[in-house]
């Protein structure tokens, strides 16, 4: 855990000093909401349409973080140094997945208020706790798959292309569950709680992908 904490601290410090990832993610998401607001000519969306717009916007904004997650290690020899160190290989996966999760949370601190201002229905406040719970589970899925995919893509020449090509199909179950679970919460008559089946799908997906990614990460790192 100390190794993972050290890597995480390094990544967060680099982002705080350079601001290479979060500003781009936030700008892309806000501009997308602005385009939908004026392009559709509506003050608010509801139901599955609103859920689809939010989910896809967060997904594409977060892909910017995935593409840069391992760039520093690749360009500055961090992989070689880590392989030579007497530490557990999964520490890097844990640190990178946590960093990506925190990037998603930081993105949503900006994107969700922008969405509420430009597109969300007036009744969002009643279902806000359930809405945030769905987002947290979705963030976990994206953090695991995004880290795993980024570890593969960073070793290729076309890493900006390989990441989305591999990651989007793997994330499809989580995206469907997120949009389906959030949709009923973005209505004027929202019940205030998501359907249990979508919570279960996301939770099981998070667990399964985390175990699979951790099991395969050592092989990816050494290759």
Predicted pLDDT at 136: 93
Q: CA-CA distance, 11 to 147, in Å (whole number)?
A: 13
Domain that holds residue 26: 2-222
Q: Which helix (H) or strand (E) holds 35?
A: helix 22-40
Predicted pLDDT at 11: 79
Domain count, the chain: 1
Predicted pLDDT at 221: 65
Q: CA-CA distance, 189 to 39, in Å (whole number)?
A: 26
Predicted pLDDT at 79: 60
Predicted pLDDT at 192: 62
Give the list of residues 6+ apart from residue 86 with CB closer than 8 angstroms, or none: none
Predicted pLDDT at 154: 73
Beta carbons of 99 and 33 less than 8 angstroms apart: no
Q: Which pLDDT tens digits describe the chain residue by residue (223 residues)?
A: 777 788 788 878 888 888 888 899 999 999 999 998 888 877 778 888 888 999 999 999 988 888 877 776 666 666 656 656 666 777 788 888 999 999 999 999 999 999 988 887 776 667 788 888 999 999 999 999 998 888 887 777 777 787 788 888 899 999 999 999 888 888 766 666 777 889 999 999 999 999 888 888 777 666 5
């Amino acid at each position: 855990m100390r190794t993972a904490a050290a890597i995480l601290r390094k990544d967060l410090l680099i982002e705080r000093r350079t601001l290479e990832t979060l500003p781009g993610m936030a700008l892309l998401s806000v501009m997308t909401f602005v385009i939908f607001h004026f392009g559709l000519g509506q003050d608010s969306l509801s139901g599955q349409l609103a859920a689809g717009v939010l989910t896809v916007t967060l997904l594409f904004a977060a892909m910017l973080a995935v593409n840069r997650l391992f760039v520093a290690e690749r360009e500055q020899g961090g992989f070689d140094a880590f392989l030579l160190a007497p530490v557990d290989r999964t520490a890097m996966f844990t640190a990178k997945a946590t960093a990506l999760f925190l990037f998603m949370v930081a993105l949503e601190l900006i994107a969700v208020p922008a969405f509420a201002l430009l597109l969300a229905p007036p009744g969002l406040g009643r279902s806000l706790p359930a809405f945030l719970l769905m987002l947290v589970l979705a963030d976990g899925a994206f953090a695991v798959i995004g880290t795993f995919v980024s570890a593969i893509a960073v070793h290729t020449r076309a890493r900006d292309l390989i990441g989305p090509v591999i990651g989007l199909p793997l994330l499809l179950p989580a995206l469907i569950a997120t949009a389906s679970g959030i949709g009923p919460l973005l209505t004027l008559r929202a019940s205030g709680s998501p359907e249990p089946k979508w919570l279960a799908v996301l939770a099981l997906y998070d667990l399964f992908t985390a175990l699979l990614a951790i099991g395969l990460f050592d092989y990816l790192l050494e290759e």
